[in-house]
Amino acid sequence: MAFTSAVITFPGSNCDRDMAVAVEQVCGGTVHRVWHGDADLPEGLDFIALPGGFSYGDYLRSGAMAARSPVMQAVVRAAERGVAVLGVCNGFQVLTEAGLLPGALMRNAGIRFVCRDVKLTVENAQSLFTAGYSAGQQITIPVAHHDGNYFADDQTLDRIEGEGRVAFRYAEQVNGSARQIAGVLNDRGNVLGMMPHPERMIETAQGGTDGRALFESVVRGLVNA
């Protein structure tokens, strides 16, 4: 069965092409490009990616407007059916605003936009998205964001930590995120949101390939499922 995926483009998305290239190169199969105003997703999707950028100019709150766009109603329904959904950077913000992931992403604690490679620790190497890594492995992935400061109340943080839903943690101080959380899974494990950009680390020309294993994990997990 051919791997079928979709990359959603919102007005103001700017990593959608990078994401589509990464999915195409690493996952293969068919990559559909879907516009935010579409109320329906293509049939038979295995994987949906929400890219980085500044959807709707970050008006109101980062990701807030995109989370209420027509296509997101379809993405929420697909996620509830078990379709794998990855949100990177602005995509992570959209997923929290849409209620698919707990918590919120606030202005970086240092106020400044942070754009550099950061070291991450793989916390959970058994999820659909991270099975290609080993637990505790350190990887290098770039971040580029202004609102990446992950916030949730202590009770929620305790719960997601206890359930193994912290996929990645910053190995260094980056943006003030609670417990240095860089990536979070939903309770079912089919939705991952993360601020760092794995799609920008898939070939050596980009400075590293530490992002490849994430896309490889998804294909392996879904094709074997």
Partner 1 sequence: MKVRVIVTLKNGVLDPQGRAIHHALEGLGFAGVNDVRAGRVIELDVADATSDESLDEMCRKLLANMVIENYRIEKAA
Name the site residues for partner 1 (rule: CB under 8 A): 60-61, 64, 68, 96-97, 102-104, 106-111, 149, 151-152, 176
CB 80 within 8 A of CB 72: no
Extended strands (E) in 38-154: 47-50, 84-88, 104-106, 114-122, 138-145, 149-151
192 within 8 A of 184, measured Cβ to Cβ: yes
Residues tagged active-site: 89, 197, 199
Tell me the three state secondary structure of residue 117.
strand
Q: Are strands 30-35 and 114-122 parallel, antiparallel or unpaired?
A: unpaired
Taking the complex as a whole, how short is the minimal distance between the CB of residue 150 and partner 1, in angstroms?
11
CB of 52 to partner 1, least distance (A): 20
